[in-house]
Amino acid sequence: MAIEQIKMPQLGESVTEGTISKWLVSVGDKVNKYDPLAEVMTDKVNAEVPSSFSGVIKELIAEEGETYEVGQIILTIETEGGGEAVHDAPAETKAEEKAAAAPEAPAPSSQVTPADAPKGVRYSPAVLKLSQEHGIDLSQVTGTGGGGRITRKDLMKIIESGDIPTAAAAAAAPEKTEAPAPSPAPSQPAASKQAAPAPNVPVLPGDVEIPVTGVRKAIAANMLRSKHEAPHAWTMMEVDVTNLVEYRNSIKGEFKQKEGFNLTFFAFFVKAVAQALKEFPQINSMWAGDKIIQKKDINISIAVATDDALFVPVIKAADEKTIKGIAREINDLALKVRTGKLTSAEMQGGTFTVNNTGSFGSVQSMGIINYPQAAILQVESIVKRPVVMNNGMIAVRDMVNLCMSLDHRVLDGLVCGRFLQRVKEILENTSKDNTTIY
């Protein structure tokens, strides 16, 4: 017999911690390799943690509702015959793993002290990373963790409030008040630097209080960060998709019968965007502080909503796929979102987002950029409108608005206008005569 350890996995390239939402096993349960052990929630995705071994659950170290850093041990499994990780490990490694399994506070090695931190103060990697990303001066933050420790939840509350305590603000404070205040209470200066409290909304009879889930908090934080950091601008263009509509409607029945899934209008739009991105690579970029990263791969993020959350799975290498291939991926990814089977890997690597707001009947909207991408395109509802044609005659045409939000640090109106013109050209020339879906 041997005891194997399951640790909190890294469910994404920038994920540093996860919360145990629900245990799917109990002590004494027999599990096989790859069986799901727990549901874990991160700021990017909900996922199941699979077992790396076959055996019997020995101990559930982590508790439901608690947050643990990547690499922390969450449970142990008793296996037969032993495992290479245990028998081949050197003695000192075994000792370290045994110490790490204790359910006390994280070992000092999991804490980091920045160069400018007060002597003796340590912060977790997750707290440090979040504070550096948002420019938060940790010396101005009062922690709610054990012993006054600053937690990730403390920083998320500050970020959501928008009142970021910065080092620059702290340095400027003495210059504003050269003479001391008459007799301030010692706690007043610190209190003024804390995050603004939540608004005091009266709850009246009949009102329903809905707890904010971790997923909703993550969405709020990401949207707030995008609006705070990226100077948004937007532009719109109307497109005549009459020929596209006629082509798709003429083959949708046969396509569904042959392929087993629907051929949606959205697949045509994603394909047109991917083709235009290849011709205008500037749009396929990201802001990186002192440089702009122009991405080689064209990976299209698509927004898929559930009743209480928004997920953004990614169609990888969309420029290399056919309309049929894109339609299949849209169908498969949307199904995974709605059945809770979307993996973190399927939400990573997006370089540009296309949002199908038209599915709700919207005709004009401005999207918030999917940080750190440089732009997002809203595909609005296709509606029949009277249009003045080139010959001066009025005809009823199928029209759609394309609304593009852009990060003005990365992109200017000229390149975005040309990009949208190219998307418009591709869509208006989509027809039975010159377009294939295979």
The strand order across the sheet containing 73-79 reads 2-7, 73-79, 55-60, 30-31
Distances (CA, A) of 88 to 3, 93, 94, 125, 198: 13, 10, 10, 29, 53
Distance CA 321, CA 82 (A): 46
Phi, psi of 149 (to 5 degrees): -65, 140
Catalytic residue list contains 35: no
The residue among 287, 282, 231 whose CA lies nearest residue 415 is: 282
Distance (Å, whole) CA 278 – CA 426:
13
Separation between Cα atoms, residue 269 and residue 358, nearest integer Å: 12
| DSSP string of 373-411, one letter each residue | BSEEEEE---EEEEEE-TTS-EEEEEEEEEEEEEETTT-
- 59: three-class secondary structure by DSSP: strand
Beta bridge partners of 239: 400
**E strand or H helix at 418:** helix 413-428
Per annotation, catalytic residue among 232, 407, 412, 433: 412
CB 407 within 8 A of CB 252: no
412 is catalytic: yes
Pairing of strands 300-302, 352-355: parallel
Q: Is the peptide bond before 372 cis (omega within 30 degrees of 0)?
A: yes
The residues assigned a catalytic role are 408, 412
